[in-house]
Amino acid sequence: MSKPPLSPTPAQTVGPFFHLGLTGSRSVGRIAGPGTDGERVRLSCRVLDGDGAPVNDAMIEIWQADAKGNYHHPDDPRSPSGNPGFLGFGRQETDEDGRCSFETIKPGRVPDPSNHLQAPHLNCSVFARGLLKHLTTRIYFSGDPANSEDPILRLVPQERRDTLMAREHPAQRGAWHINIHLSGERETVFFDV
C-alpha cells in the first residue's frame, strides 16, 4: 500500500498581537513633555520590509536618557531624571505607510560599563508580524561629533553605521527621521542583546 504524497504545511507568521493591549489608547508618543530640559526633537520612524514596502502593523518602543544622560528609572546608579515631564519611554504603532513619531528631547551622553561616554542615542525595539523575538537597535543623530567616540557604534562596520543614523530635516530644525529596514540590502543593524 502506497502512502499519500506529503504536502507542506502552510507558512504561518506571528501576528501583531501587541495591538490588542499595547497600542491605541496605550500608545505613548510624548517621551518628553513641555518643560522638560533639553533640545526638543520630533523623531519620525518608518518601518520597511525587505522589499522596501511599509510595514503597517509594527510597533516601536523607545527608551532614552534625559538631556543630562540620566534614565528615568530608580535603578539608574547616577541620579534618576528629575524632569517631571520626562518619561524616558515611548511606544507607537505604525500607520498604513509604516510611520510613527515621537516627541522628545535629544538625550545626553551616558557612560558604558567601562565608563566611556556614549554618543546621544535612543534605544529602540521593533515588534512586527513574523518576528518571534523583537529586534533591538539604536538610533543615533547624524552629524553629532560624539558619534566617532561611541564604543557601541565602533563595533558596527563603517559602511553599516548609516543604518543607525536619524537625519535632521534640512528645512525644519528639530525634525529628525529614520528608516528602519527589517531585512534586505539596506537592513538596519540590529543587536543581539
Domain total in the chain: 1
Q: Is position 7 within any domain? A: no
Cα separation of 52 and 46, whole Å?
Answer: 10
Query: For position 83, what pLDDT does the model report?
Result: 74
In a domain, 188, yes or no: no
Rg (CA), the chain: 19
On whether residue 9 sits in a domain, the answer given is no
For residue 77, give the CATH number of its domain: 2.60.130.10
pLDDT at position 175: 97
Kind plus residue range of the DSSP H or E element containing 118? none
> 89 in a domain, yes or no?
yes
* 191 within a domain of the structure (yes/no): no
Could you report the average pLDDT of every consecutive run of 10 residues in the chain (193 residues)?
A: 67 60 80 92 97 94 94 66 82 96 97 93 93 92 97 96 97 96 96 90
3 state SS for 29-49? CECECCCCCCCEEEEEEEEEC
> How does 7-41 read in b/e, with b if 16+ C-beta sit within 10 Å?
eeeeeeeeebebeeebbeeeeeeebbeeebebeeb
- The whole-angstrom separation of Cα 39 and Cα 104 is 8
pTM here is: 0.87
Residues of the domain holding 32: 23-181
Tell me whether residue 55 is in a domain: yes
Report yes or no on 3 lying in a domain: no
Whether 4 maps to a domain, the answer reads no
